[in-house]
């Protein structure tokens, strides 16, 4: 499951939109920034609030520039924007249009990112700006990911305030999520440095579509990443996401090499990426390149955005995906977005006992002690304290 505002599948579109809007608004304005009498209209603003020059571009001559942040490497003429809609060429210099202007700020369970091996049972201060470098037809946050920043309500939250409130409210981590965080890279990186000083973790849920140099800089301050491996063919990425698979695989390898804790999410979409043989091939790649102990979350798809005519993923399909992953040798295989499924919990691959019990985002007994299974002593990968 991508990190999203969870809709009840029985909600109408109107109810869902109202739910999203209310959720973003209440948690941002009234709860998280401590202005109980302040309405959304008073706190949030439409239009471009602030801009910040980006160091991640190369001048090409004649005022044209090339963005260096993600593999799209947009060539942008004067006065135009890149594909993600939040970076603009102004007189031959490239500007981020969303620095310090999140449109979504939530206090979420870390399980919602989803992370199953990072401080279970804690909360993560989670944020996003408008924009994305993918255009997934199944995007669950399309209202913000496919928006121009001037068209939606955003808040003015400098990095210092973000970290201060995260700490005050008792979050153990800050999460860069909901859309692709690469598109607000400068803002994310500045928050990351302050977060480390404050003793919190930096975690991200990302599509992994980022260039190697900015990724390596980010790895210096990033503790954990959940990467969407949306499919395992270039065709899937091209047709359904307007992206590419190979840079995502490179990102996964780099994160592992740089010792960032990695978990993977695969949203299983009926008829699009649910072929067992391809899922098995993907899992064998994960085992070979990242290790058998890399947690993977198979997430249930619900019809949304441009794929409304497809049915929700049958739970039996998720079970088959899980069986394929276990038979490929992966040790921690989860099923998400199917509350009550046994595979929400963590099982020790050695003694097979349940070591972290979960129902939805609720965490029960935790039997991981000092990073090991309490029953048999097997080391369990992750961040536990």
Residues binding ligand SF4 (CB under 6 A)? 67, 69-70, 72-74, 82-84, 87, 133, 182-183
Q: Nearest approach, Cβ of 210 to ligand SF4 (angstroms)?
A: 8
The secondary structure of residue 368, as a DSSP letter, is E
Q: Nearest approach, Cβ of 243 to ligand SF4 (angstroms)?
A: 10
In this structure, the strands spanning 123-128 and 104-109 are antiparallel
Shorter beta-carbon distance to ligand SF4: residue 76 or 268: 76
Q: Nearest approach, Cβ of 74 to ligand SF4 (angstroms)?
A: 3
Q: Nearest approach, Cβ of 180 to ligand SF4 (angstroms)?
A: 8
Shorter beta-carbon distance to ligand SF4: residue 46 or 73: 73
Q: How is residue 24 written in tokens?
A: 């973003």
Burial class (CB in 10 A: 0-12, 13-18, 19+), 97: buried
Shorter beta-carbon distance to ligand SF4: residue 72 or 172: 72
Shorter beta-carbon distance to ligand SF4: residue 72 or 280: 72
Half-sphere exposure of 277 toward its Cβ, with a 13 Å CA cutoff?
A: 0
Q: Nearest approach, Cβ of 216 to ligand SF4 (angstroms)?
A: 16
Shorter beta-carbon distance to ligand SF4: residue 83 or 269: 83
* Whole-number Å distance between alpha carbons of 221 and 158: 18
Shorter beta-carbon distance to ligand SF4: residue 68 or 281: 68
The residue number with the shortest CB distance to ligand SF4 is 82
CA quadruple 353, 359, 365, 371: dihedral sign: positive
> Which string of b and e fits 209-240 if b means at least 16 CB within 10 Å?
bbbeebbeebbebbbbbbbbbbbbeeebbeeb
Q: Nearest approach, Cβ of 75 to ligand SF4 (angstroms)?
A: 9
Residue 357 CA, distance from chain mean position: 23
Cβ proximity of 341 and 349 under 8 Å: no
């Amino acid at each position: 499951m991508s990190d999203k505002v969870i809709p009840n599948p029985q909600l109408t579109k109107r109810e869902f939109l109202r739910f999203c809007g209310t959720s973003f608004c209440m948690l941002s304005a009234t709860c998280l920034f401590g202005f109980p009498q302040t309405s959304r209209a008073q706190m949030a603003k439409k239009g471009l609030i602030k801009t910040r020059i980006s160091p991640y571009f190369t001048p090409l001559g004649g005022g044209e520039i090339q963005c260096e942040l993600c593999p799209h490497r947009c060539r942008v003429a004067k006065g135009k924007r890149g594909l993600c809609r939040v970076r603009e060429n102004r007189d031959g210099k490239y500007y981020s249009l969303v620095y310090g202007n999140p449109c979504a700020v939530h206090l979420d369970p870390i399980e919602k990112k989803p992370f199953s091996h990072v401080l279970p049972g804690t909360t993560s201060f989670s944020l996003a700006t408008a924009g994305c470098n993918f255009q997934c037809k199944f995007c669950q946050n399309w209202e913000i990911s496919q928006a121009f920043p001037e068209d939606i309500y955003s808040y003015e939250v400098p990095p210092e305030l973000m970290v201060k409130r995260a700490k005050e409210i008792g979050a153990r981590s800050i999460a860069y999520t909901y859309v692709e965080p690469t598109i607000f890279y400068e803002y994310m990186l500045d928050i990351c440095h302050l977060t480390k000083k404050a003793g919190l973790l930096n975690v991200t849920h990302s599509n992994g579509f980022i260039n190697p140099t900015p990724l390596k800089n980010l790895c210096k301050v990033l503790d954990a990443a959940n990467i969407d491996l949306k499919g395992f063919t270039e065709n899937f990425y091209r047709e359904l996401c307007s992206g590419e698979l190979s840079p995502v695989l490179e990102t996964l390898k780099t994160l592992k090499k740089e010792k960032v804790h990695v978990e993977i999410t695969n949203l299983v979409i009926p008829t699009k990426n649910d072929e067992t043989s391809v899922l098995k091939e993907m899992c064998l790649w994960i085992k070979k390149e990242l290790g058998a102990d890399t947690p993977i979350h198979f997430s249930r798809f619900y019809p949304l955005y441009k794929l409304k005519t497809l049915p929700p993923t049958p739970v039996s399909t998720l079970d088959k995906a899980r069986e394929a992953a276990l038979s490929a040798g992966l040790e921690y295989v989860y099923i998400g977005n199917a509350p009550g499924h046994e595979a929400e919990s963590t099982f020790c691959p050695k003694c097979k006992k349940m070591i972290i019990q979960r129902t939805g985002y609720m965490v029960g007994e935790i039997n991981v002690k000092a990073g090991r299974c309490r029953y048999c002593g097997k080391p369990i990968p992750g961040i536990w304290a």
